């Protein structure tokens, strides 16, 4: 991979590009507003929210937090190794990034299945409306992130790869956004109140 000279101190070129960061900030604002609404509704009916929250599996939520943070760590290692022109190591760490992302989805699917079997649907009550909407929206982001990471991986795997470090940084920025969103969702949905 050929190193490209980029002025990383330029505010108009953060890792991944300015347009990606605009999208990331819009996504964070969207989730932030939804979490503020969740807190507001919790104050309106604290007993319902507390009793509903007791039906969540905090262990699964905690394990999923560890899975996404580990995935984010491997993504950071991937970017670092590519900047060091260690393409083979980077590809292995990118695979680990995706593996931990897939494990997150598998565990989340098990949790969803348990909620469906217990009859806790999106319309069960206000808490579960927030739970399903916020976590499903996050799952969609993780799936999109995995598609992006897969595209980058197969791009790096090609013999005459045209994948640039900027492409990898953009995918990393999106992936870390998924981590950050989960770090906001997990305590508010699973732990607080």
At 102 the pLDDT is 98
Distance CA 107, CA 186 (A): 14
pLDDT tens sequence across 66-104: 999 999 999 999 999 999 999 999 999 999 999 999 999
Distance CA 10, CA 94 (A): 27
| Residue from 62, 77, 71, 76 nearest 142 by CA | 71
Q: Name the CATH topology of 18-191.
A: 1.20.120
| Cβ-based neighbours of 4, under 8 Å, separated by 6 or more | 164, 165, 166
pLDDT tens sequence across 40-62: 999 999 999 999 999 999 999 99
DSSP 124: S
CB crowding 74-85: b at 16 or more within 10 Å, else e: bbebbbebbeee
The residue ranges of every structural domain in the chain are 18-191
Concatenated DSSP letters for 4-26?
----TT-TT--TT-HHHHHHHHH
| Residue from 155, 147, 141, 164 nearest 17 by CA | 164
């Amino acid at each position: 991979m050929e190193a490209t000279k980029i002025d990383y101190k330029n505010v108009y070129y953060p890792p991944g590009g300015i347009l990606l960061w605009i999208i990331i900030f819009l996504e964070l604002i969207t989730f932030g507003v939804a979490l503020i609404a969740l807190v507001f509704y919790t104050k309106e009916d604290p007993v319902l929210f507390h009793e509903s929250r007791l039906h969540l599996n905090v262990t699964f939520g905690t394990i999923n937090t560890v899975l996404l943070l580990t995935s984010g760590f491997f993504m950071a290692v991937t970017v670092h190794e590519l900047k060091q022109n260690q393409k083979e190591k980077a590809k292995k760490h990118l695979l680990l990034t995706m593996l931990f992302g897939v494990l997150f989805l598998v565990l989340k699917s098990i949790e969803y299945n348990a909620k469906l079997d217990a009859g806790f649907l999106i319309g069960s009550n206000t808490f579960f409306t927030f739970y399903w909407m916020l976590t499903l929206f996050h799952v969609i982001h993780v799936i999109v992130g995995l598609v992006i990471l897969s595209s980058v991986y197969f791009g790096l795997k090609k013999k005459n790869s045209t994948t640039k470090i900027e492409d990898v940084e953009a995918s990393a920025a999106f992936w870390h956004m998924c981590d950050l969103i989960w770090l906001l969702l997990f305590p508010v949905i699973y732990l607080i109140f």
